[in-house]
C-alpha cells in the first residue's frame, strides 16, 4: 500500500529556462563555461554551513565583467522560476486521498528562503527536505533513508518522481518505486495507476 508520494521540486513544480541559456543570451557568457561554474558552486552551496552563496559566484561574475549585486544576481535567477499549477493540483489531489506528500530537494538557503515567500503552494506538503538543512544531497542514499526513517515509512510504501535519472536510479535501488519526470501526463497516469488520485 502506498502511504507517501515524494517529489523533487525544481524541474517539476518549479520550472524555468536554463540559467546557463539566460546568462548566454543576456550577457554573452559561454554556456559550457557557465555550466562548469554552476556545477562547482552547487556542489558546495547545497550543503549545510556553506555560508553566503553569492560569495561563491562573485569571482566568476567579476571574471565575466558583470557588475551585479547579490540582490541583482538572485533576482535575475529566481524571477524566471514559475510554479506549474497543474502539478500543484495533482499534489493536492493526492493529499486529499490521505496520502502524505513530501519534497526532497537539493537546494541552497537563499533559494529556499525566496521560495518560502514566493510559492504559497509549498504549504501543502507534509514536509520539505532541503539538502542545505539535512546535509544529505541526492543521489546519496542517505537523502532518501533520512526521509523514510523520520516518517516511519518503508521504501515499498513510497512513490518518487524526479527529473534526474541518476536520482531515480538510486531511489529504485533502495526499493522506492521511482519515475523519471518528463511530462505532466505521464506523472498523472502513474498516480492514477496506483489509485492515488
> What are the tens digits of pLDDT across the range 168-196?
999 999 999 999 999 999 999 999 999 99
How many Cα atoms within 13 Å fall on the side-chain side of residue 78? 19
> What is each CA distance from 190 to 32, 150, 163, in whole angstroms?
35, 25, 15
The conformational region for residue 145 under phi > 0 = left, psi -120 to 50 = alpha, else beta, is alpha
C-beta separation of 127 from 145 below 8 A = no
H-helix segments, the chain: 19-27, 31-45, 53-63, 70-78, 85-96, 109-118, 131-134, 141-150, 165-173, 184-193
Structure confidence at residue 108 (pLDDT):
97
Q: What span, in angstroms and rounded, lies between the C-alpha atoms of 195 and 197? A: 6
pLDDT confidence band for 4 (50 / 70 / 90): very high
Structure confidence at residue 154 (pLDDT):
98
pTM, to two decimals: 0.95
Percentage of the chain beyond pLDDT 70 is: 100
Structure confidence at residue 177 (pLDDT):
98
Neighbours of 25 (CB within 10 A): 11
Reported as a single tens digit per residue, the pLDDT across 62-108 is 999 999 999 999 999 999 999 999 999 999 999 999 999 999 999 99
What mean pLDDT comes out for the span 39-46? 96
Q: Omega of the bond prior to 132 within 30 degrees of 0, cis?
A: no
Domains in the chain (CATH in brackets) are: 4-15+82-193 (3.40.50.1000), 19-78 (no CATH)
Structure confidence at residue 18 (pLDDT):
96
The angle subtended at Cα 147 by Cα 142 and Cα 43, nearest 5°, is 50
DSSP category for residue 149 = H
Amino acid at each position: 500500500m502506498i502511504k507517501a508520494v515524494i517529489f523533487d521540486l525544481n524541474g517539476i513544480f518549479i520550472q524555468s529556462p536554463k540559467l546557463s541559456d539566460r546568462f548566454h543570451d543576456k550577457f554573452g557568457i559561454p554556456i559550457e563555461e557557465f555550466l562548469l561554474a554552476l556545477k562547482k558552486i552547487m556542489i558546495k552551496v547545497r550543503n549545510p554551513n556553506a555560508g553566503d552563496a553569492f560569495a561563491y559566484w562573485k569571482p566568476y561574475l567579476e571574471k565575466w565583467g558583470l557588475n551585479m549585486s547579490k540582490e541583482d544576481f538572485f533576482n535575475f535567477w529566481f524571477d524566471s522560476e514559475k510554479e506549474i499549477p497543474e502539478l500543484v493540483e495533482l499534489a493536492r489531489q493526492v493529499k486529499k486521498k490521505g496520502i502524505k506528500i513530501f519534497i526532497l530537494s537539493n537546494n541552497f538557503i537563499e533559494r529556499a528562503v525566496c521560495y518560502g515567500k514566493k510559492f504559497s503552494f509549498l504549504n501543502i506538503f507534509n514536509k520539505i527536505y532541503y539538502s542545505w538543512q539535512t546535509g544529505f544531497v541526492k543521489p546519496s542514499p542517505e537523502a532518501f533513508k533520512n526521509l523514510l526513517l523520520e516518517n516511519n515509512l518503508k521504501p515499498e510504501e513510497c512513490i518518487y518522481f524526479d527529473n534526474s535519472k541518476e536520482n531515480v536510479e538510486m531511489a529504485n535501488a533502495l526499493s522506492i518505486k521511482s519515475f523519471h519526470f518528463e511530462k505532466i501526463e505521464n506523472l498523472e497516469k502513474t498516480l492514477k495507476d496506483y489509485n492515488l488520485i
